[in-house]
A and B are shown apart, each in its own frame.
Chain A
């Protein structure tokens, strides 16, 4: 396993009215994050806040190219990005103990925080297809280039780790500075991982090692 310190490239925010970030997503151009009662977008080039959608947004966020998937209470909502309308809901696999959410190849991956688990589920029904185990509390989850990454947050220590999607074995670990907790996690498809802060209304960009 490779282990190194996370290299923080940039910090976005704090954004007004945002106390902390619960989930992060990327629609190809803009970064979106969940702040409790809203989904908010900003431009990662200049950090400018763009628009927001009024929708319950209590934990992880994902984007499938057409819709947002958003954890709220004990459900996953499917949201139309243009109208903000909730099109459908499915039960979350952790029954509300869920934290991170990401989309990959037709399925959703959901982090179950204190259970230290990641579930792969059917986005239509919520049926659990597979479960892998971590040895830390799981917050954000993301896929990039065939790599599964998840963020951990336990006490005041967080790291980002690349794990084997079959066995859950840790392949690589980036340690966040003490006190910098990571809630949501999302890759931009390139060499950046966006990390939501557990304690402030900011999103941090961390370099993805190659």
Chain B
């Protein structure tokens, strides 16, 4: 490398992007453009950064594949942080392969983490987990290590595995402090906060109390029968009955579970399941039909017995019946229930699953989006919706080292 590029890179590494720009501001050769791009990204001018990195990548010669790959990685990171998920994931894969082939393991790992973060963001947990499993965090410098552990924690939290999540966050906290990047430390702390903030509400025996994520994990592993309003299922350990597409049956199951071991009057059931205030004969007939359907659905888990007032649940094996609810009940809960799986959904798929029109789903999603409860990416027919990742997604730029290393 030449004198000013070295001087600029040293300034960048020392956290002085302005000092770096000062040295290469007027130079148009590819290494200078790349350094200017990374400095601009650090200064928050992401649009200009992207343009500079793109020009740098184009300018590098055929023998400078590594330098070009680093520009692609930096550009991908900027796109990711600005939530522009339309950039070509294939280019990142190719850059990662080039870096690996030329022994730049550090930047190759960085590219791998970007891929994981993108998959996490678009709700492809299985793939994210696969890529992450192929990355060895041990030789990584502190900042990359922190990003790695945040991703591990993010997936674990999605999967309701709180112990591994906590362990990963401890590592992330340690690494972020060693890296000395305040933004990264703050991200780890907010992920910890998510672990220590009630994630759900338990309704049982007429009372209710908030649950942490690990309480939810323990509850789902317990022998209790749980009516889960997050996913619209009734479950007991390994057995799961999904009522996601049957809102009436789910409402009945929930009402019965909340009253357990007591019974629920016909009038209450009708009001809660059908929304009618007065129970007339036709409602009663319909209730009998729906209870019969619910009975069939829950066959393996519980029986529904008739009482003088109405109906009562009697679980076959479970010693308790509980309702797992959101901390605050909200509108469009059914839409959120589908998105709670952490995967990404198309509007049309949600409409199909919910049995309603695309228009009303669209309206619900827009309202939820304004409240920050769901996020979307892509445009037009390619648009997908999901709930924001709980953690594991750093928004701090940890750009690749622009100069040869290792």
Binding site for B on A (CB under 8 A): 19-20, 22, 36-37, 56, 58-60, 71-74, 92, 94-99, 112-114, 154-157, 179, 181, 183, 198-200
Contacts and interface: CB of A to CB of B under 8 A. Distances in A.
A71 B3 CA distance: 6
A179 B343 CA distance: 42
B23 A73 contact: yes
Interface in B63-116: 63-67, 102-103
Contacts of B103: 179
Contacts of A71: 3
Given A99-B1, A154-B63, A156-B102, A198 B6 contact: no
B207 interface: no
B106 to A, nearest CB: 11
A154 to B, nearest CB: 5
Contact of A113 (B1, B7, B62, B64): B1
A181 B404 contact: yes
Contact of B6 (A58, A92, A181, A200): A58
B390 interface: no
B3 A96 contact: yes
A19 B403 CA distance: 11
B64 A92 contact: no
Nearest to B10: A36
A199 B29 CA distance: 21
Nearest to B63: A155
B406 A157 contact: no
Given A96-B23, A179-B103, A181-B404, A155 B3 contact: no
Nearest to A153: B1
B1 A198 contact: yes
A97 B66 contact: no
B404 A58 contact: no
B2 A155 contact: no
A22 B6 CA distance: 8
Interface of B: 1-4, 6-7, 10, 23, 27, 29, 31, 61-67, 102-103, 403-406
Given A20-B404, A179-B102, A97 B3 contact: yes
Contacts of A156: 63, 66, 102
Contacts of A179: 102-103
B67 to A, nearest CB: 8
Contact of A59 (B1, B23, B63, B405): B1
A204 to B, nearest CB: 15
Nearest to B67: A155
User: Binding site of A, secondary structure by majority: helix, strand, loop or mixed?
Assistant: loop
5 contacts: A19-B405, A22-B3, A96-B27, A97-B3, A181-B404
Nearest to A56: B7
A157 to B, nearest CB: 7
A58 B65 contact: no
A164 B153 CA distance: 61
Q: Which of A22, A37, A60 has the most CB of B within 10 A?
A: A22
A33 to B, nearest CB: 13
Contacts of B65: 155
A114 B102 CA distance: 21
Contact of A58 (B10, B31, B62, B63): B10
A58 B6 CA distance: 6
Contacts of B102: 156, 179
B3 A92 contact: yes
B64 A155 contact: yes
B174 to A, nearest CB: 23
A114 B66 CA distance: 16
Given A20-B404, A179-B103, A199-B404, A157 B3 contact: no
Q: Which of B7, B23, B64, B102 has the most CB of A within 10 A?
A: B7
Nearest to A200: B406
Contacts of A56: 7
Contacts of B404: 20, 181, 198-199
B406 A99 contact: no
A71 B66 CA distance: 26
Nearest to B401: A19
Given A179-B103, A181-B404, A99 B7 contact: no
Contacts of A96: 2-4, 7, 23, 27
A79 to B, nearest CB: 15
Nearest to A73: B7
A37 B10 contact: yes
Contacts of B66: 155-156
Given A20-B404, A96-B23, A154-B61, A114 B29 contact: yes
